Every structure is written in C-alpha cells, then in structure tokens.
Structure 1
C-alpha cells in the first residue's frame, strides 16, 4: 500500500452502494472512474467492493471491463476481473474462536438445515427433495428413544426475521450441514457452517469458493453433483451415515485448521485470514497488470518501428527507384503520344 498514486498498480474506488434502489450506483462509480487521472479503459486497474448483482449496478456493461469487483458473489463473469471473498461472520468470528474444542465434540444432530426455500426453481426443487428426506428420517424414529437424528427448520424470509445467534448455536450442534443449490453461485450458509464447526456438504455444481487456488476445500468438505442428488436412488441421510468415523474426524480437524481463512479480523490483518488472502489476490492481479502493460508498450513500440524497419529492408534488397516512378511513367507515355501525333500531322 502506498500514499503515492504514481507508485500504485491498483486503485480503490471508495464508494458504498445504497440500500434499496441501486439504479444510480453504477452511474456514480462510472463518474468516479472517468474523473480518475489513473483510469485506463483498456486495463482493469481500479477495484470496487460490493455485494449487489452486477446488472443492478451497470447501465452500460462495457464499464465493467475496466473494474475489478470484490464480492462474496461472482456477478461478474470475467474471472480475472473479480475476486470472490467470504461473507462476513456478523461478529461471530471472535466468539466461535473462543469455543473449546471439547465443547464442539458433542454433536446432537447428524445434520440440520436452517433457512428458507430458494427463490429460483432449481434451488426450490433440490431443497424440497432434501426436506422430504429429512422428514422421512425423523418419521422412521431417527435415533433410539425417538430423538431426532436430523433437523429441518424452514421459514419464509418475507415474513419472518430469523435469529442469527440461534441459527449458529443450532449449526454448532450438527455434524454435517447441507449447502444446497440457492439463488446464486455462492451461499453464506457455507461460511456459517465452517465457523460452527459443522462439515459442509455442497450440492451445487456451479458453487463459487473464495480463494480456490489457496484453500484446499476437498480436505474439509464434501461436494455432491446436482444430478446425483436428483436421482431417486440417492438419499442424503444415507450418504452421511456411510461416512467412516475416522474420515469425519479428519475432515473436522482440517476444517478447524482452515477456519481462519474465512474470518475478517477488522480492523487488523493476520497472516492467512480473509483480508490477508484478499491482499494476495490483488497482488497477483497487480503482477498480471504489470505484465499486460509491458506487452502493450512492446506492441506499441513494434508498431512505431515497423514502417521504418520495413523501409530500410526494402532499401537494402531493392535498387533505388524514383519515389513517384509510376507517375513519371504515365507522364512519359503521354509525352510520347503527343510527339507521335505532331509527327503524323507534319507529314
């Protein structure tokens, strides 16, 4: 980080989108870019933090080519101009780090889901399948003594405001947490499960994980293809029951070791935390940006020197000729015709 803009590769667009109507946000950010003396429409050297759909921000899509977006959701389809980050932990990060590991060992449920049905049809269909399987499991008796083995707590977001603290306490009591297909390519549910020490089971093919090149997700979570979940022969509860105890312990151990990558320690930055990894991602883009600028300069230099080089090459391999030879040849032909004409007339 530098206070001298002439030394910077990237520039932060300091603007917070408004809640509610976002139609003017894109115009404001575009104006800020246009007023920046370091803005380059050909190179994305400005970055912007947001959590809004890309299409709500930009009335003119070409502007997105020159801006790096930072968001928990990948609304921008260009990977090199977007950095996916974890959702914030809503203040639970500190509390969860103080929980004793022996306290988390005792899990009440095999699995639990706390949330609502998705607003998009694919997500709704998958969640209904999982809901039926959760309910069928409990109707069969669940654990010995009639204790529920799994928990499905569903509510309507439009009419009910859920208690986030209670949700986290519930997730803490579960061994596995489904992260089903939802409204977008990411889900806050994944990060809540990680912080609650609940092994995530992702059932979305297009799920976007933050810092994928750095964090070994396969070490501490499961991913089940959407097509497999949709098969009648597949049962989510049976899949969880089939996981060996030793494998589950190893997954949870790795989850605890990687948990700090998903925590923003505002206002501090600790090695390996969410902000530190974001700085690494931006540093990578700065290196790529310098490389791209170098290529652009080299190509411009080649174009500048190419005509001169070509002219010198022609001079070396071809005899010198009048600059306007064709013009003089035409003039000579006309002169010859005139001479012949007058010679004929004189005869």
Structure 2
C-alpha cells in the first residue's frame, strides 16, 4: 500500500501541485518497507530507522517553511508496515500534530482516531483484481464461520483454544493443508473471522469483503478503516475477546434476514476497498485521500504570521 499510494500520487496530477502555496496538505513520501529492506539488519533494534525518519523531517523543516508554520499539522505520512507507528514515535511533531495514515490503527499504541487515519491492509500478488472479487449467494454458503492463519498475538490463541477442531460450523485452522483453497473456503462461508495477530490490522478483512463474506472483527483496540463514513456494524460483526467462547451463539443468533442484509451491504461497500491501476471514483485510493482530507479540515493555518490553530 505504501508503494501503491506513492505511485498513484505521482502519476495523478489532479491530486498534487508543485506550488506549495496552493497545497492543502504536504505528503511525507517515505516508505517504512524500504527502510526495513535497505537499512535494517535482522536481530538489531530499530533505533536507526527512527533516526532516519527524524533526520528526514528535520531536513524538510530546515529547507522549507511549511513544517514549522503548522508544527507539522498539515503534513501526513502513510505506512502499512508493522513498524510504521513505531518509527513515527521518534518525531514528536509527527505523532502529536501530523496525520498518520496507518494500517495498524491501534488505539493502545497511540493511534488517535480524531487525527490519524486507518488504512485497510491489502495483500495482492499483482496490481490486478481479476479473480479476486466474487463469490456465491448467501444460500450457497454452507460454512457458518471460517479462519485460517498463524496462531500468534494475544487474540488468536484464545480463538484457537475454543474453536480449533471443536465444531464443523466454526472452522478454525492453523494454516491449511496443501491443496486446500483458502479462497474457496471463504466463498463457502457466511462469516469470515478476522482476529488480530501480532498487530491489530489484518488483510483478511479486505479478503472477506472481496469474497462476499461478512467479516467478524475480533480485536481489542482496532479502529476500522473509513469509519467516518462507513457504519461497520451494518456489514460486519464486531466481537470482543470476552465473547470468543460465545462465537457460535452470537453468529447463529443473527436472524437470516439480517445476515442477508449484511451480506448485500458487503457487496456494496467493497468497491471502497478495491485498488485499481488507474484510481476509480470511490475506490480505496480516493477513500484514503478523503479520510486524510477530513482530518485536515480540523487545522487552520495562517499564511501571514505562521500561527497554527486546531479546531
């Protein structure tokens, strides 16, 4: 998502300007993924990565007046890497004032929903969506709930303890055997479980939407993407950690007519999570920009004396 967003900002001239006085926002286009790839040695602390980000912002503040004018409040970064939030902690203004667009929208790790933006985590093998979006009607989905993935973090062990190999209606797998299709099982399921792993975000949420499966969000501190305009409770089930043992009771307790309405809403909202080579209206690229713009509306910057106001 980092690379895709940077690329689309570069090639879509309608969203950017070379005149800083016409800009509503300033994008800090650094990639945490690339920082890790080129500047981190496995097994070493990440201090040097944070120092690179700090040097980068200090350089911008030295060369240009706009960071200091607003204390970074009209600047934003975007990261889907696990270390995106952590590297931002090395720059006080970035955490306190700037807009951080993050996949790991974890309120227990200082994610601020009123200032920061939750970005959907999307895992794609290419930039094409052919074959990734679809699925049968609700009447042809025979599995109540499905999950397959690693048993890590502090949410998934609870899920595995109560449901792995315990009930054919709640299919929880510690990865799938060779030859078993992950996508096919999603498309056979009414509900797709999306428990947090090491981090609160998971690509399974978008995968569920792509495959017409109602997502079940299981997390302690996750802020779902685009919550400013999307009412997640109308097309997803939100389950607390304490409710995991009651998962089957909760899902079977949802009336069939309500489930069908939720599934239809999944089909309607998934366009907001689709990534296209050339951005299309209302797709994920536009939704991210819209979320960032909404937070920019809370900041007023004076062009004369440099004063900055937070509404």
Q: Report if TM-score (shorter chain) is over 0.5.
A: yes
Matched with 1:243 is 254
1:211 partner SS:
coil
Look at both structures and tell me which one has the larger radius of gyration over its CA atoms: 1
After superposition, the Cα gap between the structure-2 partners of 1:63 and 1:211, relative to the gap in structure 1 and judged at 3 Å, is: closer
**Aligned-partner Cα distance in 1 for 2:89–2:110:** 11
| 1:127-159 Cα deviation digits (max 9, x unpaired) | 233xx3342224xxxxxxxxxx44222149xxx
Q: Counterpart of 2:73?
A: 44
1:45-97: CA deviation from partner (whole Å, max 9, x where unpaired): 22112123322354343443343221211255333442111112414644234
More helix by share: 1
- Once the two structures are TM-superposed, the CA of residue 206 in structure 1 deviates from its matched residue by 1.9
Q: 1:114 aligns with which of 143, 148, 160?
A: 148
Q: Secondary structure at the match of 2:167?
A: helix
> Does 1:70 find its partner at 2:101?
yes
Segments of 5+ residues of structure 2 without an aligned counterpart are 1-14, 41-45
Q: What is the CA–CA distance in structure 1 between the aligned matches of 2:80 and 2:88, rounded to whole Å?
A: 10
CA contact (8 A) 1:118 1:127 kept: no
Task: Normalising by structure 2, report the TM-score.
Answer: 0.75
> Over aligned residue pairs, what C-alpha RMSD do you find?
3.2
The superposition leaves residues 320-343 of structure 1 with CA deviations (integer Å, 9 ceiling, x where unpaired) of: xxxxxxxxxxxxxxxxxxxxxxxx
Structure 1: 5+ residue stretches without partners: 139-148, 301-347
**Residue 123 of structure 1 is aligned with which of 149, 155, 177?**
155
Query: Matched residues in 2 for 1:224 and 1:39: separation?
Result: 41
Of 133, 138, 150, the match for 2:163: 133
Tell me the matched-pair count: 273
Aligned to 2:3: none
* Distance of 1:15 and 1:299 partners within structure 2: 25
Distance 1:295 1:112, change over 3 A: farther
**Matching residue within 249, 255, 262 for 2:273:** 262
